[in-house]
Structures are given as structure tokens and as C-alpha cells.
Structure 1
Amino acid sequence: MDKVQRLRDVSDADVAAWHEVVAASVAHDFPGEPAPTLDQVHGQVTTSGLSSRHLLWVARADRTVTGVARLRLFEGTGRRHLGEFTLHVHPEHRRRGVGTTLLRTVARAARDEQRRTLVVEASSRTSGAAFLEANGFLCALSLSLLLLNVAEARGVEDIVGTEHPGYRLTRWLGMVPDDLAEAFAEAKSTMGDIPAGKMNYGTTTWDTDRVRDMAEVVEKRGDTLLTVAALHEKTIAGFTELMIPVGDGTRAIQYDTAVVSGHRGRGLGLWVKAAMLEWLRAEWPAVLEIETDNAEDNAHMLAVNERLGFRPLRQTRQYQCDPRMIH
């Protein structure tokens, strides 16, 4: 019988065992996809994330780690109801109750923390989706996972060179410059109207402290954060963010892209994303691919990504459940 242990002081051996489980899980479920590196896993299990803390568990059979789970507990007004978790079981130890034991552990901790909503993501082509549905989770948002070969992106130079009267491009590495911090926080606050299906994410308030804290969290993990923005006078009309993971940074991960409502319909989303690609090609040639996901009903952003050459990789789903329903 596998025993579940709470990790409090994470050792190098814990990180290595966690990485082994996650790497084996990814290799089994997504053949050909790059697995997280040891450095990336270290960042994930030692850094809780913005405005949150996390709890970690491992399942063991004798001395072998058979499964891992991480519960992220959001703090701050508007999100204290929410817990987000990830769960991996080594392929050689599946269908033995390891996943169920870990899930019950996560749900019990969420109840103890007075969380009303648990959210988790699973690919529609793996057994994870059926496992969640069997345990009372409901699909609240369907996502299209997309991938772009940076070298094959279409029309980058022409798009960047297109004139947008009244607007100009700017960019920064890591933390937002002080003179743009307030404008950037205001622009980030506009993301509340991005399609999110029935997901109960709660509300997030962005201010200058929060945008700085976000950059600090990324830096603490060892990752690299890039931002390109379109300026209109003293405001940020639109922006896009990209994260290059520590270690094998050949595949970058798209973070937020948004255009402020009063500036939509001018092609600014396409403009800033093309400018990001131009920057990558010039200064980060090791980045070969960009991964992004879009809500399937976000037709505008799907069209932008298709225009640049993103191709469908797979479908994924966001699930949610009241932890009181899991026993």
C-alpha cells in the first residue's frame, strides 16, 4: 500500500524523485513532447507562485516515489476560495489507487483550508480526464493548445513594420520599468473580460506591487520573462508576455496577451506578438518553439495565432469541483 507523505523541507533528493515521476508521466502521456527539466521542477516545487502558497505530497511504495501532488492555495481578496492542483502518477504504478489516494489528500487539505473550488487541467487524450470526471469534476473550459515553430512564423517583419498611428512599441526584460508600472497594472486589469468558460477563478486586482511581484516570482524560479507592449501616449494599449523556462529553453511558454477594450480592432494584438517573435529571433535564437493555449471560444486570439502560423497541438480541459464532494 502506497503511503502519502507531506513534503515540508524539500531536499535535492525530493526534487530528483519528483522530476523522475513527472518526466515519466509526460513521456508516457505525450510522446515526443519535451519533459520539464530538473531545474524547472526545482523551481515549481520550491516557489509557490504569485499571491499564493503551496502544499506538496509524495506517494511512496517502500522507498520508491510513485506519485506526486501539489496544491496551490491562492491568497488575497477575491481568490481565497480557490485551490489549484497538479497530480502525476508514474506510469509503472498507475491503476493501483495512487492517484485516488493523492486526490483525496489534496481535497482534504483544501477543505481544511476552507477552499470551495478545486481546479485542475487535463488533456482530453489521456486517462486523466476520465479519472477526474469519475471523481466528480466537471469540465468548465475547453482549451486549444497551440505550437509555433519560431523560424516558420509568417510575415513577422511585415507585421512589425505596419504603421499604427498614435502607437509605438516598447519592450522590457524581467520587471516592468518604474515609469510604466502603473500603466502596465491598468492594462493587466483589463483581462477580466477574456473568455474563461464556467471557471470560477474569482477576481484579481492588479496594481504596481502585483506586477512587480509577478516578475520576482518568475526570476526566483530561474525563468526569463519578456514583455512587449504597444504604447498610446502614457497608457499601455496592449501587451504580450513570454516566459523562457530555465534549463532547456527551446520551448517558450506564452503568458498573457491582452488589448485594452478602447484600443481593440486596430491589430495591436498581432503587432505586439510579431514584435515578440522578432525579438526572440534576434536575441534568443535557442528558443525554437512557442506554446500557447486559447479558450476555444476566443475566436479573435485564435485568429491572431493562426495568422502567425501556430498549429494545433492537442486539446486540453480545465476542470473544477467542490472539494467537499471528494471523499
Structure 2
Amino acid sequence: MTNPITTLQARFFQELKSSILPYASLVDEIAELLQVSMDSAYRRIRGEKLLDFEELKIICHRFNISVDRFFSTTSNAILFHGSLNSYDENAFGKWMEDVLAQLNLVNSFSNKHVYFLVKDMPPFHHYYHPLLAGFKFFFWKKSILYNESLKNEKFSASKNFFAPYQDLTQKILRVYNKVPTSEIWNEEGLNTTLRQIEVYHDMGLIDHPETTVQLYQCLLEVIDHLEKMAETGRKSMLGHSPSEESAEYRLYLNEIVLGDNTFMAEIGENKITYLNHSVLYFVGSTDQRFNEGMFKNLENLMKKSTLISGIGEKERKQFFNKLRKKVQAKAALVQSEV
């Protein structure tokens, strides 16, 4: 007779295998982690030797997983993992490194796709332009993470707030451009960034009106770039055409639903959903039932949206022209002050 505990343990390791990098060896990982022989690691993976509670704790902690989903329960609880907001001076750099790690994980799978239900323009798109990226970094660090070092600072193009994160930013963009992506937008997608620039300008937290105008110009250049990516249906760096490594870029327009910055990734046979919290941070869940429900919701939204990448030239031009008019109207107000 099959031992149900043995079967459960074997299933646990099978699920675990699908969550590690494709080129990694599960038996090597377990042997090193538990400090046992390869043979002993194999016997645990096959369910021939039961894990004790301490070993189970070590494995779950190392791979950031929970055993809850392996038990047949009727609980409606959904497990999430992620980072809490931190207010130390190094918090933003750590956040950037975590973004890169998550993108590298997604990119490590041959079968991969990212879905973004946009409320605010995805952070990656701000990175295309150094000055705009520098402003967003400054804003996040000053007004969200409350970095003490920026307490009395104003944003200035000459101070280059982008420089400390230039290498990380380029790495993030290179990986992001290799991952096929579907984004669901509406016309509100620029409002948050526009409002941040406007508020900082009105509060005197941007050094000169000319700098504010430059930021709006950067935003217009990013809009032009997004339109080109939507036209070709492929990702690329600002000012460049798609390369052989450029991933598919699908852009949907939904005029009814305002997104919530939900980020879902298909990795291999599994899915993971990231939900936004504390403005910058995300928590993720690999819960199968939850992810299937979220994916069906995204599918339904895409069916009720207009695909404007690759096709839908009229709708695409109308959409991007509306975005430009929003930015141009803000820029004109500032230019009248100069």
C-alpha cells in the first residue's frame, strides 16, 4: 500500500523542482542545504526517507515556499511572500536589486510571459530616459522612502540622481526587453507621473522651471518610444530598433477599467502574481487557485480590450496622441511662467 506521507513528500519535491532555476540541480541543492550525501538527498527527493521538521523548515526558508498548499484543506487562505517597506538609506538600491532578481528568474525560463494591468506607467518605461528615471528615483527616495539625506534637496538635472543606479537600471532594461509582455493600459496611465512632476514643481522642489519642462520633454520622448514598440510589436531601447533578442510587446487599450498595477508572470508550467503595496513594493503568490483566477480575469480584460500593438493603427495613434496632449498641456503651463 502506498504511504500517503511518502507520496506527499515526493510531490513536495516535484513542485520544488519546478520553482528553481532550470539549470540548477535539485539533488545538489538539497545535499548542500541539509549537509547530507547525494544518496541521502536522492532518497529524500524520492520519498524513501522522510524529512524531519527541522529539514522541512530549512528547505522552506531557503526556497521561500510554504507547505500549506500541499495539504488537502478547504482553507481560503492565500499565501504571499515579499519584502516589507524599509526606510533605511540603502532601501532603494535593495529594491532595485530585487526587481532585477525577479526579472532574471522569469527570464531564466524558456516558456515565459509577463502581464501588467497598468494603473501607473510601469517603472521600466521611466528607465528609458536617464533624466526621467533620475526624477522618479529622487521622488521615490524623498517622498516614499523618506531618505534623510534628501530632506532639504531639490531635484536638479545637474546633480544626476540617476548615476548611482545607472548600471542596475541598464541590467533591468536588458532583461526586461527579453521577456514577452502584455500590458493593459488606459488614458490614466500617465497621471501619476504627471502629478508627481506638477506637485514637485509647485512646491519648489524642482530647481528651475526649465528642468520641469525638460522632464515633460523626456516623457514625450518615452511616449514616442512606446508608440514605436507598439507599432513593431517588439521591445527595444530608446532610440534603437528591435534586436534579435527583443521580446514581443503587446499593448491593449481598455477604456473602462482602471488597472491596479497587478503584475503576473508565467514561468514554465507555473504562474506567479505580484500585487502592489506601499507604493513601490510587491508581494507575490504562487498559489495555483489564486493564479488561475487572476489569469482568467486578465484574459477576460484582454478580450474586452483593443489590441493596439502590431495592428489597430487608428486606435494606436489616437491613444498616443491623447497622451501627448496631456503632457504638452502641462509643459505649456510651465513655459508660460518662464
Does the alignment reach a TM-score above 0.5?
Answer: no
TM-score using structure 1 length = 0.28
TM-score using structure 2 length = 0.28
The structure carrying a bigger helix percent of its residues is 2
Larger Rg: 2
The structure carrying a bigger strand percent of its residues is 1
